[in-house]
Amino acid sequence: MNELLKKTASEQRKALLNKEISAVELVNAEFARIESIDETLGAFNSLCKEQAIETAKEVDKKIAAKEDLPPLAGIPLALKDNINLKDTKTTASSKILENFVSPYDATVSKKLKENLIPILGKVNLDEFAMGSSTENSAFKITRNPWDTNKVPGGSSGGSAAAVAGYEATLALGSDTGGSIRLPASFCGIVGMKPTYGRVSRYGLIAFASSLDQIGPFGRCVEDTALLLEAIAGHDSHDSTSLDIPVPKFSDCLNKDIKGKKVGVIKELLGDGVSEDVKKAVEAAIQTYKDLGAEIVEISLPLLEHSIGVYYILATAEASSNLARFDGVKYGHRTENPKNLLEMYTKTRAEGFGDEVKRRIMLGTYALSAGYYDAYYKKAQQIRRLIKEDFDRAFEKVDILVSPTCPNTAFEIGSKISDPLSMYLTDIGTISANLAGIPGLSMPCGFDSDGMPIGLQILAPALGEDKLFNMAYNFEKATDFKSVQPKI
């Protein structure tokens, strides 16, 4: 049974349809796995056993009746704990929402249920998705399945660790500045951020509304393509949701890539990139060349400003979005306040962690009178120019490639007291969120300590079909996904 947990979604589906295993047995095997290793890994905040088993029973009934099933029916999934799932705790890994039970389903949760995908439980994250290591959770530190002394990346560290540690076959995360791609890179799996608006944000606890996007994790490119198909599409509950048809991404995988142009982002392969990462990414570029693609060096001169722009815009939006957590209607409220002002200040002081407070204060400062034009407005203008840099690049090439991160997973505790060093971890991923384009991270090698290295692939807006096609061809030509973590 343990071997089946290590298989891809399509291999597990085959076993279900051939009746080698039932969906209920598969889900129960995942719960047994979680029970045996999650004390070490710390991926899950809560489990949804009853809901997951009910969904699995429904799948088994349909298989017995020889009814058609959605492609991922019965395949166990972990849900990031900032996505609402009715009648379960949705905490955003924050004390302020520690006991909040969601009264409704996020649109993606509804779609998972419609696709008969069993949701095993809610997984850990950096509080309110603010962080790059999953050390900022109010509840626990999630560990990397490849080396439990190291971080899994963040903020969707619980999602990536659950898939890499065989506690779930699939997972959903959210990506505001790299929060899917970075953990995918650190944990040696595939994770992708769709085009902004491709997936509904309704029911996602907002961090930065113009940057947040929900996306899939899987063991392979096909798994992520199938999961994106299941959750994408227009939603009238989300005004930023794009009203366009969803292609069958899984049909785009196997097309020939001879003659396609692969742009290598010059600024992301220079100083600051570790030697192991550089070698692995250069070898990946060579693989594309061997597959018949044309390699073009691309310069994105404004990329150096992306961290500064991001940490003004994201914190400004966070300070506005997080104003709703005030102890009035739901969530934590301080005990026996003397007056309304004390209730607000003490509730927020007790409920929010240090990183969340830091970002709220930064954002409030950037939006304050006298500073708005100098910071927020200027950052919006540079954001526009960064997007235009990408537009020009995609006139010359089909996709862009770079390291997902300049380094591999670092030791737990090594950067937590140095916020700037932690922020620089996202140098390769942030610009895709600023430009609203899709990005994917997939394994492309290992460092000298045996830790995974991620290759980032970026495509133009709504170019997910291109992204998956180029990623699938690389995956087929290499064997990184078959290497398994130590845990």
Q: Model confidence over 138-194: pLDDT tens digits?
A: 999 999 999 999 999 999 999 999 999 999 999 999 999 999 999 999 999 999 999
pLDDT tens profile 68-113:
999 999 999 999 999 999 999 999 999 999 999 999 999 999 999 9
Active-site residue, from 102, 155, 159, 431: 155
Active-site residue, from 179, 250, 306, 402: 179
What does DSSP say about strands 190-193 and 439-446: parallel, antiparallel, or unpaired?
antiparallel
Answer yes or no: are the C-beta atoms of 460 and 388 closer than 8 Å. no
Active-site residue, from 22, 80, 102, 122: 80
What does DSSP say about strands 261-265 and 190-193: parallel, antiparallel, or unpaired?
unpaired
Averaged pLDDT score across all residues of the chain: 96
Yes or no: is domain 2-255+472-482 CATH 1.10.10.10? no
Give 395: exposed, middle or buried? Use CB within 10 Å, 0-12, 13-18, 19+.
exposed
Q: What letter would DSSP give residue 376?
A: I
pLDDT band at 1 (very low <50, low <70, confident <90, very high): low
- Per-domain residue ranges of the chain: 2-255+472-482
Active site residue 80: yes
Spatial separation of the C-alpha atoms in residues 396 and 298, rounded to whole Å: 9
- pLDDT, residue 343, reads 96
Active site residue 357: no
Over residues 25-38, the mean pLDDT reads: 98
Amino acid at the residue 474: F
Share of the chain above pLDDT 90, in %: 95
Spatial separation of the C-alpha atoms in residues 170 and 166, rounded to whole Å: 9
Is residue 249 pLDDT above 80, yes or no? yes
Spatial separation of the C-alpha atoms in residues 321 and 269, rounded to whole Å: 35
pLDDT tens profile 316-339:
999 999 999 999 999 999 999 999
Active site residue 250: no
The distance from CA 19 to its chain's CA centroid, rounded to whole angstroms, is 32
Q: Could you tell me the pTM of the whole model?
A: 0.97
Query: Residue holding tokens 């085009």?
Result: 195
Share of the chain above pLDDT 70, in %: 100
